[in-house]
Amino acid sequence: MLVRLDHGSPVPLGDQIAAAVRGAIADATVHPGERLPAARALADSLGVNVHTVLRGYQQLREEGLIELRRGRGAVVTADAAAPGRARLTDGVRALVADARALGMSDEEVVNLVRGGLAGS
């Protein structure tokens, strides 16, 4: 799995790491049950602090895409294989980022999504 960071991007490095892993899950580069690189090893290879990698991994854990197991590290969950889950999560993050860039409130975004669902 290849992780590249853009240090000039306004996106926090931990978010970029999470996005790279999410993308690898979405395109089946990594599979359920597969271990991700150890946080320290990934941090060393990227030239970032280990806590930056752990923030990215924590984000993925909260999304249900990986499990953090003591002694085993970060492991891709079976739920991550659900069709399109990682891709959908990326889409939602992009939607929220776009909405915030337009100055929309969270309530406006929720209403926009609800309105889109009502039309389905």
Query: Do 61 and 68 meet the contact criterion of CB atoms below 8 Å apart?
Result: yes
Query: Exposed, middle or buried, 32 (CB in 10 Å: 0-12/13-18/19+)?
Result: middle
Residue by residue, pLDDT tens for the chain (120 residues) are: 789 999 999 999 999 999 999 889 888 889 999 999 999 999 999 999 999 999 999 999 998 899 998 888 999 998 766 656 667 777 887 888 888 889 988 888 888 888 876 655
Task: Say what the alpha-carbon torsion angle 77, 81, 87, 88 is, to the nearest 10 degrees.
Answer: -80
Domains of the chain with CATH codes: 13-118 (1.10.10.10)
